[in-house]
Chains A and B, each alone.
Chain A
Amino acid sequence: MKSLMTFTMGGVHPEENKFSEHAAIVTLPLPKQAIIPLGQNLGAPPKPLVKKGDEVKTGQLIAKGEAFISANLHSPVAGKVARLDESVDSSGYRRMAIHIDVTGDEWDENIDTSPDVVREITLGKQEIIQRIKDCGIVGLGGATFPTHVKLMIPDGKKAEFLIINGVECEPYLTSDHRLMLEKGEEMLIGIKILMKALEVDTAIIGIENNKPDAIKHLNELCIRYQGIRVQPLKVKYPQGGEKQLIKATVNREVPSGKLPLEVGCVVSNVGTAFAVYEAVQKNKPLVERVVTVTGKSVRKPSNFLVRIGTPVAELIQAAEGLPENTGKVINGGPMMGKALTTIDVPVTKGSSGILVMNKEESNRQRPNPCVRCSKCTEVCPMGLEPYLLAKLAKLALYEKAEKEMVMDCIECGSCQFTCPSQLPLLDFLRLGKQRVGHLIRTRK
Chain B
Amino acid sequence: MNEVLIYSLLSLALIGTVLAVILFFVAQKFKVIEDPRIDLVDEVLPKANCGGCGYPGCRNFAEVSVSSADQKQSLEGLNCPVGGNDVMKQLASILGLEVAEQEPMIAVVRCNGSKANSPAKIQYDGPASCAFAHNLYAGEGGCQFGCLGLGDCVAACDFDAIHMNPETGLPVVNDKCVACGACVKACPRGIIELRNRNKKDRRIYVCCVNKEKGGPAKKNCSVACIGCSKCFQVCPYEAITMADNLAYIDYEKCKLCRKCVEVCPTNAIHELNFPPRKPKAETVADPAGDAPVIAETKPRPARKPATESNDTQA
Direct contact of A and B (CB under 8 A): yes
- Whether B122 and A428, one on each chain, are in contact in the complex, defined by CB atoms closer than 8 angstroms, is no
Contacts of A342 in B (CB 8 A): 121-122
A341 and B127 contact, Cβ closer than 8 Å, known pairs A91-B137, A92-B139, A430-B132: no
Inter-chain CA distance A111–B129, complex, in Å, is 49
Whether B125 is near chain A, meaning CB under 8 Å from some CB there, is: yes
A435 contact set on B, CB distance < 8 A: 131
* B310 at the binding interface (Cβ < 8 Å): no
- Hey, which chain A residues are within 8 Å of B125, CB to CB? 362-364
Alpha-carbon distance between A364 and B144 when the two chains are bound, in angstroms: 24
Per-residue CB proximity of A348-391 to B under 8 Å, as 1/0?
A: 00000000000000111000000000000000000000000000
A254 located at the interface, meaning its Cβ lies under 8 Å from any Cβ of chain B in the complex:
no
Interface residues on A, range: 20 to 34
A424–B127 alpha-carbon span in the complex (Å): 7
In chain A, what residue has the closest Cβ to B213?
A86
- Once the chains are docked, how many angstroms separate the CA of A117 from the CA of B138? 45
| A210 CB-CB contact with B under 8 Å | no
A88, A92, A342, A428: residue with the most chain B Cβ atoms closer than 10 Å: A92
A82–B8 Cα gap in the complex (Å)?
Answer: 97
CB-CB under 8 A from B122, the residues of chain A are 92, 341-342
User: In the assembled complex, which residues on chain B have CB atoms less than 8 Å from the CB atom of A427?
Assistant: 126-127, 129, 132, 136
Interface residues of A in 214-263 (CB under 8 A from B): none
Q: Is A52 an interface residue (CB 8 A)?
A: no
Q: Decide yes or no whether A431 CB sits under 8 A from chain B.
A: yes
CB-CB nearest in chain B for A425: B127
Closest Cβ of chain A to B34, distance in Å, is: 28
Does B212 have its Cβ within 8 Å of any Cβ on chain A? yes
- Bound state CA distance, A333 and B162, in angstroms? 40
Given A92-B122, A363-B125, A341 and B135 touching (CB < 8 A)? Answer: no
Q: Which of A86, A94, A431 touches B135 (beta carbons < 8 Å)?
A: A431
Q: Does B142 contact A (CB under 8 A)?
A: yes
Given A86-B216, A94-B216; A341-B126 close (CB under 8 Å) = no
Do B131 and A92 touch across chains, with their CB atoms under 8 A apart?
no
**Closest CB in chain B relative to A129 CB, distance in Å:** 34
**Residues of chain A within 8 A of B137, CB atoms compared:** 91-93, 339, 341
Which residues in window 175-233 of B have CB below 8 A to A? 212, 216
Distance A192 CA – B12 CA, assembled complex (angstroms): 85
Q: Which of B129, B132, B139 has the most CB of A within 10 A?
A: B132
In Å, the complex CA distance between A430 and B126 comes to: 13
Q: Say if the beta carbon of A209 comes within 8 Å of chain B.
A: no
Q: Is A421 an interface residue (CB 8 A)?
A: no
Instruction: State whether A434 touches B144 (Cβ < 8 A).
Output: no
Give the residue name and chain of the B residue nearest to A367 (CB).
B127
A428's partner among B121, B132, B139, B144 (CB-CB below 8 A) is: B132
A341, A362, A363, A428 — most chain B CB neighbours (10 Å) = A341
Chain A residues whose CB sits within 8 angstroms of the CB of B142 once the complex forms: 92, 341
Number of interface residues of B (CB under 8 A): 17
Interface of B is mostly: loop
B121, A341: Cβ atoms closer than 8 Å: yes
How far is the CB of B126 from the nearest CB of chain A, in Å? 6
- Main secondary structure, interface of A, reads mixed
The answer to whether B129 and A431 touch across the interface, beta carbons within 8 angstroms, is: yes
Q: Which residues of B contact A424 (CB under 8 A)?
A: 126-127
Complex interface residues of chain A between 331 and 351 (CB less than 8 A to chain B): 339, 341-342
Cβ–Cβ < 8 Å partners of B136 in chain A: 91, 427
Closest to A92 in B: B138
Residues in B136-180 with C-beta less than 8 Å from chain A: 136-139, 142, 144
- Which residues from A are CB-within-8-Å of B127? 424, 427-428
Contacts of A339 in B (CB 8 A): 137
Chain A residues with CB under 8 Å of B135's CB are: 430-431, 434
Residues of chain B with a CB closer than 8 A to A364's CB: 125-126
A416-432: CB near B (< 8 Å → 1, else 0) gives 00000000100110110
Q: How far is the CA of A430 from the CA of B212 in the complex (A)?
A: 27
Q: Which residue of B lies closest to A91 (CB)?
A: B137
Residue pair B138, A93 in contact (C-beta under 8 Å)? yes
A341 touching B129 in the complex, CB below 8 Å, given contacts A86-B216, A92-B122, A94-B212: no
Q: What are the 3 closest A-B residue pairs judged by CB atoms, nearest first?
A: A92-B138, A91-B137, A424-B127
- A-to-B contact residues, CB < 8 Å: 86, 88, 91-94, 339, 341-342, 362-364, 394, 424, 427-428, 430-431, 434-435
* B→A interface (CB under 8 Å): 121-122, 125-127, 129, 131-132, 135-139, 142, 144, 212, 216
Known contacts A92-B142, A341-B142, A424-B127; 19 additional CB pairs below 8 A are A86-B212, A88-B138, A92-B122, A92-B137, A92-B139, A93-B138, A94-B216, A341-B137, A341-B138, A342-B122, A362-B125, A363-B125, A394-B129, A427-B126, A427-B132, A427-B136, A428-B127, A428-B129, A430-B135
**13 cross-chain CB contacts under 8 A:** A86-B216, A91-B137, A92-B138, A92-B144, A93-B138, A341-B137, A341-B138, A362-B125, A424-B127, A427-B127, A427-B132, A428-B127, A430-B132
